[in-house]
Amino acid sequence: MPHRGIVPVELAIFAALFTIVAGLGFAAVRWRRAQNLANLDEWGLGGRAFGTFVTWFLLGGDVYTAYTFIAIPALVYGVGALGFYAVPYTIVIYPLVFLIMPRLWSVCRRHGAVTPSDFVRVRHGSSTLALAVAVTGIVATMPYIALQLVGIQSVLQSMGVAGTGWQKDLPLILAFAILAAYTYSSGLRAPALIAFVKDALIYMVVIVAVIYIPLRLGGYGHIFSSAHTHLAAKPKSAQASFIIPPGSQAAYWTLALGSAFALFMYPHAITGVLAAKGRDVIRRNAAILPAYTFLLGLIALLGYMAIAAGVNVTNTNLAVPELFQRMFPTWFTGIAFSAIAIGALVPAAIMAIASANLFTRNIWVPFLDRNATPAREAAVAKVASLAVKAGAVAFIIVLSPQFSVNLQLLGGVWILQTFPAIVFGLYTRFFHRWALLSGWLAGMVTGTWMAYATPNVAKHQAHFGGSVYNWHFLGHFKAYPGFIALCINVAVVLVLTLVFMLLRVPKGADATTPDDFEEEAALPLPEPVGISAVVGDPGKVRPAAGRS
């Protein structure tokens, strides 16, 4: 993309909207004011009191990120039809959310669980398995936060806000310093309030784009014809196609299904669920969140529009910003870029909070500070959230954005391996805790190896070249490595569970009862107590931290 200087109107609109959002983040501490933010229920889960309206915006802002706005059309721009896998996977996921997440909400509410690892400890009686789930969640989320910066970085670069050396990264550092400050003070209330502005801006920009840009380009018929011709002319090594080519159907459906299973295993998505005030809130949101899937389908079409508009960039992340600059007047481009940047702040904040909750409740307290008070937990979580954000900024500054993309591909593979321990545990205690831990390890190792062994011939990458692995099993079977690893994971869990049952190895204590999973009402939260409270005592709200 040719160098482009700063456009004052564009930059002024961007700065004004960013400032408004930052102000909302700091003001959020007074919104739905808590009596005491010095506990994780309030700081990390917003008091578990968000209704349908707030939860819809929070989950929408949480799941549909700035990188989605950039990456999905970038993938469509680069390879065509495979990029549309995001549409079926966000259709498949919501029936699963409708069935699974109310059960998780109920048992976590009953036992005061703040994280998925808390649930794993309560259900399976294993701090080791809970630690594995916690570490996986943090490691998988870190590059996800970093990729929110890729979205902001693309916008800043497109606006001409780019210097040399340390000056190049200064705007990015300042943006995330502001994010860190209001997240530290307001907790989950900050991204929940900002999500209203973020979603309104994105809906407006996308609806205008899918109407206005095709009018300028000669209609959708011309757009699809141009995309078809362009993708057909690419070399075979680029693996680009206007429709899914023969032999790639399995890659498409395993990528879609695996991504669907993974999405709500991410700790930030579960945080959004646990912040709801009742099971009905989750069910209603599972019914209405597919509106975002419709939006996502429209966003994906921006990739084809960029092709039709003659956008020619080597970094596909710049395809959408360049399209907006070509098609929109300057003032609206400023609004569009603001939507992308603000769209990074909401999920980045929730991801940092969720990672901080995991570190505090499942690493710091059970292994380093077993007698921590609720106030101490909240203080540690606030500091941990700052460290997570600093680490994400370091990813972008020290490493190349492409390396962060590779890590994000791994993040999906990794977080998928927590599915058996969490989801199976919501329905049965048949599976042995050590079998679940062994399956997790098998999935992590094989999934990482397959991702490492995947080349990208077009980009001359020998490793971490994409999300489709060519598995030489029953011929050439191209599939998502995370899905293959999950199948291996489940097979190991099944076999070892039977082995451990024959050997009569103790399963570990289960602190739940069947009624815990079906609790409909929003139970009043008792006064917070330390994490060392006795598991299963209805008068306590924190699971025990005993080691297995």
pLDDT of residue 404: 53
Q: Is residue 246, in this structure, part of any structural domain at all?
A: no
Domain interval for residue 298: 8-226+267-397
SS3 call for 164: coil
pLDDT of residue 90: 87
Rounded distance between C-alpha atoms, residue 382 and residue 449, angstroms: 35
Q: Is residue 356, in this structure, part of any structural domain at all?
A: yes
Q: Is residue 308, in this structure, part of any structural domain at all?
A: yes
SS3 call for 372: coil
pLDDT of residue 537: 38
CA–chain centroid gap for 271, Å, is 11
Q: Is residue 545, in this structure, part of any structural domain at all?
A: no
Residues shown for the chain: 548
The domain tally of the chain equals 1
**Sequence-ordered list of residues with C-beta below 8 angstroms from that of 452, at least 6 positions apart, any chain:** 463, 464
Helix, strand, coil distribution of the chain in percent, nearest 5? 70, 5, 25
Rounded distance between C-alpha atoms, residue 204 and residue 200, angstroms: 6
What are 495's two structure tokens?
A: 């076999």
Q: Give one DSSP letter per residue of 22-75, joined into a string.
A: HHHHHHGGGTT--S--SSHHHHTTGGG-B-HHHHHHHHHHHHS-HHHHHHHHHH
Q: Is residue 363, in this structure, part of any structural domain at all?
A: yes
Q: Which amino acid is at 525?
A: L
Which residue is listed with tokens 């399956």?
A: 439
Q: Is residue 472, in this structure, part of any structural domain at all?
A: no
What are 374's two structure tokens?
A: 């609720």
Q: What residues of the chain score a pLDDT lower than 70?
A: 1-4, 34-35, 67, 162-169, 237-238, 398-407, 456-463, 465, 472-476, 521-548
SS3 call for 126: coil
**Residue 11: count of CB within 10 angstroms of its CB:** 17
Closest CA to 226 of 294, 316, 312: 312
> How does DSSP classify residue 517?
G
Q: Is residue 242, in this structure, part of any structural domain at all?
A: no
Check if the beta carbon of residue 50 is closer than 8 Å to that of residue 275: yes
Closest CA to 261 of 92, 455, 398: 92
Q: Give one DSSP letter per residue of 289-332, joined into a string.
A: THHHHHHHHHHHHHHHHHHHTT---SSGGGHHHHHHHHHS-HHH
Closest CA to 343 of 150, 173, 155, 148: 148
What are 228's two structure tokens?
A: 């078809």
> How does DSSP classify residue 527?
P
Quote the pTM value: 0.88
Q: Is residue 547, in this structure, part of any structural domain at all?
A: no
Beta bridge partners of residue 478, listed in sequence order: 470
End-to-end CA distance of the chain: 56
The CATH number of the domain where 23 resides is what?
1.20.1730.10
Closest CA to 39 of 309, 536, 347, 376: 376
CA distances from residue 488 to 258, 417, 432, 468, 509 in whole angstroms, order as listed? 13, 10, 16, 17, 26
